Chain A
Amino acid sequence: MTRLTLPALSLLVFLSAVIAVTLGPADITPGEVWSVILHHFGLLPESPVSRLRDAIVWELRLPRVFTALGVGAGLALSGTVMQALTRNPLADPYLLGLSSGAALGAVSFALIGLTLLMPVGAFFGSLGALALALLIARLLGGATPSRAILAGICISALASALTSLIIFWYATGDSYREILSWLMGSLSGSLWADAGLAALALILCSPIILLAGRPLDAFAFGDTAAAALGIDVPRLRWTLLGATALLTGIMVAIGGAIGFVGLVVPHAVRLALGSRHRILLPHAMLVGALFMLWTDTAARTLFEPRELPVGIITAVIGAPIFLIILLRYRRVT
């Protein structure tokens, strides 16, 4: 069955992207989308599409669609890896505080004038938050799922407050919209540069993660069991947690702290296809891309012309699912 699901999902991602570009305040047809793309690749010298409509497709919708696909794939992949490595079904970049840490890192770099290096700041922020979460959980007497989440809540609260403070400090005029877009996450105003950055992060991190699919299976019964199967546990753990922090950091630098994607998507895929990571990881990536694309499309079209931060939609979907997972796994927490 799994032999066909990957090509089928890829096709679904492709079709969804084409449809999503046509949706919005200005009605665009799929044909016009193709004309614009071909025109910009120089394959169609005389575009039949007006310059305004061309700009809507090429400057607004296409970059946003690609950014959503990349951010969703990255967050879902991060969540899958964190759940396997920490043997914590509740692990998720948002719930463990990585996303808030990344947002804090990004705005801190902006504050000291390093606006171009915001993704680097986000990486250090997410890495710091991850280290802090694991440290606090250990101080509480071992990194059990519930302790890790409690540590994450603490880090999230502090990092979010500091992020808000920094934005409030340096922003002139109305800073609330910007604060909200960092804390809830929003892909509003995504540029080709954002889509490119998301793609770059995926190109850097996903091969490392996807190649570790089989070794990740060995963690099913814990570190000792993995080591007894010949896995270099510390090396694999730090490599993958590093890749996860980088992936999360960059995705947050692009879209803010969009929550629950890394929790909902891996659990849904696991439910359908089981826990073998060779299968789980690539599927989670594609489903994450789809999930983010459609939630973001909803975010920009539901209340048009006003935009909803996409994190509100992912939280409305994700929080009840978090509760269901919590109830199912209450014996481990």
Chain B
Amino acid sequence: MSLVVSAISVRKAAKPILADVSFTAPSGAVTGLIGPNGAGKSTLLAALLGLVPATGAASFQGHDLPAMPRRDRARMVALVEQSASTEERLSVRDVVALGRIPHESAWQSAPSSADAAIIDAALADTGMTAYATRRFDTLSGGEQQRVHLARALAQQPRLLLLDEPTSHLDIAGQLQLMALLRTKAAAGVTVLIALHDLNLAARFCDHLVLLSGGTRAAEGPPGEVLTPALLQAVYGVTARLVPDPQAGRPLIVYDEAVPRTSPQIPD
């Protein structure tokens, strides 16, 4: 099932953060949410999860995500944040088990054997099985992010939201994470990922949504969205798009910063 976002608007203290944002994230595909800092990427993800008051709708599998009961939503939609840390003494397995919370009954005292199998599968999917008993706070940033993804997978989501999950990862970590998301998308999970790195977006996303100043500036396949004209308008950079013969996707080469020409929401 596709995620159909229609006319989502968010105001914070009477100031518009998002204005009438509409787009479709196709099912079983990786959709990249791109745009400069302050474009509203994180706010949009928060609005989809009902974490900030918003108008408009986001329909997925017959439900309006922002309006549905939070527990039901958490069984269907999982979120991976930029870099979530903790002071608690938790093992990797404990962290992944958090993903079962929306599925557990209030009286359940320990994970059931079905829960345990799902946790094992999520650990295996992310290559973290060998780390299961390690303390979470002793892992590297890349490893921690894989654990977060495993936790999200343990929620058994049909829709996976990620908020710039690659920001603190080294290149190998970024590639591993994106490859994992492609596998999950191929298995039928709808993936919506906010990304800073446009080359990563061009390389691994099937579909892109470009936000600018709280509005949707463009939507479509990477080849259509990543054009020199749009990049200059929204990001304020001159850039060339060089075809990569091997991957069949464009490479972005930046030249210089220039004034933006994008429409901004008036205050």
What residues of B have a CB within 8 angstroms of the CB of A232 in the complex?
70
Tell me if A40 is interfacial: C-beta within 8 Å of chain B: no
Q: Are A218 and B87 in contact (CB under 8 A)?
A: no
Complex Cα distance, B109 from A278, in Å, reads 7
Q: Are A227 and B51 in contact (CB under 8 A)?
A: yes
Q: Are A231 and B70 in contact (CB under 8 A)?
A: yes
Q: Are A230 and B81 in contact (CB under 8 A)?
A: no
Tell me if B255 is interfacial: C-beta within 8 Å of chain A: no
Residue of A nearest to B79 (CB): A228
Tell me if B224 is interfacial: C-beta within 8 Å of chain A: no
- Which among A217, A230, A275 is the interface contact of B74 at CB below 8 angstroms? A230
B167 to chain A, nearest CB (A): 16
Tell me if A225 is interfacial: C-beta within 8 Å of chain B: yes
Tell me if A128 is interfacial: C-beta within 8 Å of chain B: no
Q: Are B49 and A332 in contact (CB under 8 A)?
A: no
Query: B81-108, CB under 8 A of A: which get 1 and which 0?
Result: 1001111111100110011011010101
Residue of B nearest to A218 (CB): B101
Q: Are B81 and A221 in contact (CB under 8 A)?
A: yes
Residue of A nearest to B101 (CB): A229
Query: A201-236, CB under 8 A of B: which get 1 and which 0?
Result: 000000000010011011011101101111110000
Q: Are A275 and B104 in contact (CB under 8 A)?
A: no
Q: Are B81 and A229 in contact (CB under 8 A)?
A: no
- Which among A89, A215, A230 is the interface contact of B87 at CB below 8 angstroms? A89
Q: Which of A261-280 contact B (CB under 8 A)?
A: 270-271, 274-276, 278
B47 to chain A, nearest CB (A): 12
Tell me if B75 is interfacial: C-beta within 8 Å of chain A: yes
Q: Which of B12-71 contact A (CB under 8 A)?
A: 46, 49-51, 70-71
Q: Are B91 and A274 in contact (CB under 8 A)?
A: yes
Tell me if B252 is interfacial: C-beta within 8 Å of chain A: no
What residues of B have a CB within 8 angstroms of the CB of A211 in the complex?
106
Complex Cα distance, B90 from A270, in Å, reads 10
Residue of A nearest to B95 (CB): A220
Tell me if A329 is interfacial: C-beta within 8 Å of chain B: yes
Q: Are B101 and A230 in contact (CB under 8 A)?
A: yes
Residue of A nearest to B103 (CB): A230
Tell me if B73 is interfacial: C-beta within 8 Å of chain A: yes
What residues of B have a CB within 8 angstroms of the CB of A329 in the complex?
87
Q: Which of B157-172 contact A (CB under 8 A)?
A: none
Q: Chain A, interface size: which category?
A: 20 to 34
- Which among A87, A214, A224 is the interface contact of B101 at CB below 8 angstroms? A214
Tell me if B78 is interfacial: C-beta within 8 Å of chain A: yes
Q: Are B70 and A227 in contact (CB under 8 A)?
A: yes
Complex Cα distance, B207 from A133, in Å, reads 47
B107 to chain A, nearest CB (A): 9
Q: Are B101 and A220 in contact (CB under 8 A)?
A: no
A5 to chain B, nearest CB (A): 14
Residue of A nearest to B77 (CB): A228
- Which among B79, B88, B106 is the interface contact of A220 at CB below 8 angstroms? B88
Complex Cα distance, B77 from A170, in Å, reads 61
Q: Are B85 and A221 in contact (CB under 8 A)?
A: yes
Q: Are A215 and B101 in contact (CB under 8 A)?
A: yes
Given A228-B49, A271-B89, A222-B106 contact (CB < 8 Å): no
What residues of A have a CB within 8 angstroms of the CB of B87 in the complex?
87, 89, 329, 332
What residues of B have a CB within 8 angstroms of the CB of A332 in the complex?
87
Complex Cα distance, B108 from A167, in Å, reads 49
Q: Are B94 and A276 in contact (CB under 8 A)?
A: yes
Given A228-B49, A228-B78, A230-B102, A220-B71 contact (CB < 8 Å): no
What residues of A have a CB within 8 angstroms of the CB of B75 in the complex?
230
Q: Are B101 and A275 in contact (CB under 8 A)?
A: no
Q: Are A221 and B74 in contact (CB under 8 A)?
A: no
What residues of A have a CB within 8 angstroms of the CB of B148 in the complex?
221
Known A220-B95, A228-B77, A228-B78; further 4 A-B contacts with Cβ < 8 A: A89-B87, A211-B106, A230-B75, A275-B90
- A sample of 29 cross-chain residue pairs with beta-carbon separation below 8 angstroms, ordered by A number, consists of A84-B88, A87-B87, A89-B87, A211-B106, A217-B94, A217-B98, A218-B98, A218-B101, A220-B98, A221-B81, A221-B98, A225-B81, A225-B84, A227-B70, A228-B74, A229-B101, A229-B102, A230-B70, A230-B73, A230-B74, A231-B70, A232-B70, A274-B91, A275-B88, A275-B90, A276-B90, A276-B94, A278-B109, A278-B110
